Structure 1
Amino acid sequence: MRQLLNCPAPAKLNLFLHVTGRRADGYHLLQTVFQLIDRGDVLHFTLRDDDAIRRVTDVPGVPEEQDLIVRAAHKLRAEAIRRTGRTPPGVDIAIDKILPMGGGLGGGSSDAATTLMALNALWQAGLSRQELMDLGLPLGADIPFFVFGRTAFAEGVGEALQAVDVPACWYVVIEPGVAVPTAKIFTSEHLTRNTPLVIMSDFSSYLAKRNGLQGFGRNDLQQVATRLFPPVAEAVEWLGGYGDARMTGSGACVFCAFDSEEQADAVLAKVPGAWNGWKAKALQRHPLLDMSPSTESCEA
């Protein structure tokens, strides 16, 4: 194969997000449920005749050498060289950027995970899924989840993952028009860092009793983000008129679950014009988990 085209990098939502402590190295300990959704960026990989790794699409505000896509590609190639003794060819990486930066949707991490999975196939590097997860963790705490590729109960810094079943549903997501820097939220003096631990069965039992996704836990980062960024608070308040609206990740995007696409459409039609609103369906599996090894397109 010389190329892999149309490789999806789906977004995630945090159905809840608790900060349960802080390690000596400064990393925060979390508990969350990551939910994949069917909206995201799309990446395209084409092998080169030299050894250069290039991002051929301009991404405003993200220099090429700092992009997680490029860093993930370099890291995977170094591991492939170590294992096989041969240098994989260079690659041009194009991206159709759909997800907003600073939105809490995991766009950069998902792009990096898709890069690891696609280039592992294209370069025939032979790494297992767990090895790709381990390779991605130093680049970003959410990357292992996207490589794991299933709705997951996560602990630690986000790398300890267990697959979990959740009901099929649709989400309305609002982009409030601000980018929230993750570091600003985690360094705030107002952040709660001692939420009591839960276990996965607590979450599963709650869903079974309530027959839906509404109301379990909270997002501990939301109180900080809404204090610092009023548009996030406004979006939470507005969408909260239709259900249990909450922020995903460290913000800024706000979401609410609905049982049907029709319900989501009805709410979406009322989103104020100042915001970008959209709907997405819950995904149980990352599309690349089912990628055929013999095709030049990641599309099913």
Structure 2
Amino acid sequence: MICFPNAKINLGLNIVSKRDDGYHNLETVFYPIAIKDALEIIVKEDQSEDTFIEAGIKVDAAPESNLVMKALKLMRSKYEFPSLEVHLLKKIPFGAGLGGGSADASFMLKLINKTFDLGASDKELANIAVQLGADCPFFIYNRPMFATGIGEVFEDVELCLKDYTFILIKPDIHVSTKDAFAQIKPLQPSMSLKEIIKKPMTEWRDLMINDFEKSVVAKYPLINEIKETMYKHGALYASMTGSGSSVFGIFNEDVKALQTLYPDCNIWVGKGM
């Protein structure tokens, strides 16, 4: 059985308060995009221990530390199903603000649930997913969502961007999420993202911000250069996603020039979901 975990972008990201548990309350709009990994599970006939085989982008972590295998372990603690050989083809860049690892973990939960007809609801899977990471529950639902709390409280939003072209540029920069949060001064936004996304996209540039950008760009000016270049080439909206370092632009059409301006970057072009 095979599935294709997809990435996400953040349309705006406001850090609104510091929590007593050390985490931060935020608000953001998660939007799925079609850059994908491939995840396959095969039942092991000899029923030996679960195994993990990885290809594509190399993730510098032991198999047992991979979120896919952590997801498998969590499911096995709650349900009975056969031993598995797990294959992951990694195409979503990590350290990029795209949620690739979280997507893989949540799709693993869904894949096991479907393959073995375990009957877990989306809510039940989301409750398992949040134990793996704050943004993991989003990928259980995998549709446009307004998120609050630490990113695990969801509200559906009416937003369809499937007719637009997304250009995503990932420079060779790894941003530490922990370090990015350390530079943030929480602030309640003057306008909720739920209201901003209802406005014409041409107004988003002046209204929708990512609170991580200021400190991350100060350290890595290339990120802001890429963003401004996207606007010069006709982006309706452009932003860093998550805590970086990927920058996305939303266009009415494919802009070929952008794909040649940054030859040392990972570049993806596709439609919204």
TM-score (norm 2): 0.90
What does 1:119-130 align with in structure 2 at a 5 Å threshold? 119-130=112-123
Query: Using the alignment, how far apart are the partners of 1:211 and 1:228 within structure 2?
Result: 28
Counterpart for residue 127 of structure 2:
134
Identity of aligned residues (%): 29
Shift of 1:75: 0.2
Matched, 1:274 2:264: yes
Deviations 1:212-237 (A, max 9, x none): 68424200011121122233233223
Counterpart-to-counterpart distance in 2, 1:51 and 1:117: 23
Distance change >3 Å, CA 110–CA 282, structure 1 → 2: same
Map of 1:52 onto structure 2? 49
User: Hey, what's the Cα distance between the residues in 2 that align with 1:136 and 1:238?
Assistant: 37
Q: 1:184 maps to which residue?
A: 179
Secondary structure in structure 1 of the residue aligned to 2:261: coil
State the distance in 2 between where 1:36 and 1:183 align: 24
- CA change 1:15–1:211 in 2 (3 A) is closer
Q: Which residue is 1:69 aligned to?
A: 68
Amino acid at match of 2:176: P
State the 1:274 CA deviation: 2.5
Q: Deviations over 1:160-211 (max 9, x none)?
A: 11121224222111011111121111122xx1311326446413432xxx25
In structure 2, how many angstroms separate the alpha carbons of the residues matched to 1:25 and 1:62?
27
Name which of structure 1's ranges 197-206 and 111-120 shifts more when overlaid on structure 2.
197-206
Partner residue of 2:213?
A: 222
Inter-partner Cα distance in structure 2 for 1:52 and 1:144: 27
Amino acid paired to 1:52:
E
Query: Does structure 1 conserve the Cα–Cα contact (< 8 Å) formed by 2:227 and 2:249?
Result: no
Unaligned runs of 5+ in 2: none
- Which deviates more from structure 2 when the two are superposed, residues 68-77 or residues 268-277? 268-277
Matched, 1:170 2:165: yes
Check the 8 A contact 1:177/1:231 in 2, yes or no. Answer: no
Q: Which amino acid aligns with 1:173?
A: L
- Aligned counterpart in structure 1 of residue 29 of structure 2, from 29, 33, 45: 33
SS of equivalent residue, structure 2 residue 37 = strand
**SS state of the match for residue 222, structure 2?**
helix
Q: Contact 1:14 / 1:249 at 8 angstroms: preserved in 2?
A: yes
Provide the aligned C-alpha RMSD in A.
Answer: 1.9
* Deviation string, structure 1 residues 92-119 (Cα, Å, up to 9, x no partner): 1111110111010000000001100001
Determine the structure 2 residue equivalent to 1:233. 224
- Residue identity in the other structure for 2:165: W
- Long gaps (5+) in structure 1: 81-86, 284-300
Q: What number of residue pairs does the alignment pair up?
A: 265
Q: Distance in 1 between matches of 2:214 and 2:5?
A: 29
Give the counterpart letter for 1:55 in structure 2: F
- Alignment correspondent of 1:78: 77
Name the structure 2 match of 1:246. Answer: 239
Q: How does 1:198-217 map to 2 (within 5 A)?
A: 198-199=191-192, 201-206=194-199, 210=200, 214-215=204-205, 216-217=207-208
Change (3 A) 1:72 1:99: same
- Cα gap change, 1:252 to 1:202, in 2 (>3 Å): same
Conserved 8 A contact 1:40-1:98 = yes
